[in-house]
Chain A
Amino acid sequence: EAGVAQSPRYKIIEKRQSVAFWCNPISGHATLYWYQQILGQGPKLLIQFQNNGVVDDSQLPKDRFSAERLKGVDSTLKIQPAKLEDSAVYLCASSFTSGSSYEQYFGPGTRLTVT
């Protein structure tokens, strides 16, 4: 079974530039999550999709971050414009459906450095 795919794996940009991350979840998984993990901390949920609808985006900085999941499969997360404090690993995860009974499968992450 193919895992969660993410690209790019690494990205370096200057502050005020824009960046986009892509995620392809495990086939058949209805729920998709985007997390931000700053060095030394646990993953922080940014947004959760159930199919192509948003379940929770309460921790997404909506003035600069946006995410979409068209057709309920792939998803993109965009930052525009980036700030220095956005330097982190961005993790995508998927699960069969929403709910705490279902384990999440994580992708390898995208390491973003903002200079």
Chain B
Amino acid sequence: SQQGEEDPQALSIQEGENATMNCSYKTSINNLQWYRQNSGRGLVHLILIRSNEREKHSGRLRVTLDTSKKSSSLLITASRAADTASYFCATDDEGGSYIPTFGRGTSLIVHP
């Protein structure tokens, strides 16, 4: 298994601004998933992107994947106070069974 590492560790923005966070990994993958965790709803799956995809959208979320750089980014547009949470990426190994591994996450604070 491998660990995705999120960057930055912490991000503080104003409501309405965009938030970008990144995930880097070390070995080839099949899929990469993004999760959000806040005190109200616990850990929730946001989006999955496959290794043959470069970009994916879901509402205000935009995820990109650059397999040549072994990195992914999560963009939240027009952020809201309710987006305040920790965001994690989870990766797998291209060749092996899926042992989900989470990084330390990016802590996002959106000020109203």
Residues in chain A within 8 A of chain B (CB atoms): 33, 40-45, 48, 55-56, 58, 91, 93, 98-101, 103-109
Q: How many angstroms from the CA of A109 to the CA of B41 in the assembled complex?
A: 11
Residue of A41, A43, A45, A56 near B43 (CB, 8 A) is A43
Name the B residues within 8 Å of A109 (CB-CB).
42
Contact assessment for A42 and B105 in the assembled complex, using a CB-CB cutoff below 8 Å: yes
Residue of A33, A43, A55, A100 near B30 (CB, 8 A) is A100
Interface size class of B (residues with CB under 8 A): 20 to 34
Q: How many angstroms from the CA of A48 to the CA of B33 in the assembled complex?
A: 18
Contact assessment for B44 and A106 in the assembled complex, using a CB-CB cutoff below 8 Å: yes
Name the B residues within 8 Å of A107 (CB-CB).
42
Q: How many angstroms from the CA of A114 to the CA of B105 in the assembled complex?
A: 25
Q: How many angstroms from the CA of A108 to the CA of B105 in the assembled complex?
A: 18
Contact assessment for B103 and A42 in the assembled complex, using a CB-CB cutoff below 8 Å: yes
Q: Nearest 8 CB-CB pairs, A to B?
A: A42-B102, A100-B92, A103-B45, A106-B43, A100-B31, A100-B98, A43-B102, A99-B98
Q: List 27 A-B contacts (CB under 8 A).
A: A33-B100, A42-B102, A42-B103, A42-B105, A45-B99, A45-B101, A48-B100, A55-B97, A55-B99, A56-B97, A56-B99, A91-B42, A93-B43, A98-B98, A99-B97, A100-B29, A100-B31, A100-B33, A100-B90, A100-B92, A101-B31, A101-B48, A103-B45, A105-B45, A106-B43, A107-B42, A109-B42
Q: How many angstroms from the CA of A48 to the CA of B100 in the assembled complex?
A: 9
Q: How many angstroms from the CA of A55 to the CA of B100 in the assembled complex?
A: 12
Contact assessment for B100 and A42 in the assembled complex, using a CB-CB cutoff below 8 Å: no
Contact assessment for A100 and B100 in the assembled complex, using a CB-CB cutoff below 8 Å: yes
Interface residues of B in 54-90 (CB under 8 A from A): 88, 90
Q: How far is the CB of A1 from chain B (nearest CB, A)?
A: 14
Name the A residues within 8 Å of B101 (CB-CB).
45
Name the A residues within 8 Å of B100 (CB-CB).
33, 45, 48, 100, 104
Residue of A45, A103, A106 near B48 (CB, 8 A) is A103
Q: How far is the CB of B58 from chain A (nearest CB, A)?
A: 12
Q: How far is the CB of A48 from chain B (nearest CB, A)?
A: 7
Name the A residues within 8 Å of B105 (CB-CB).
42
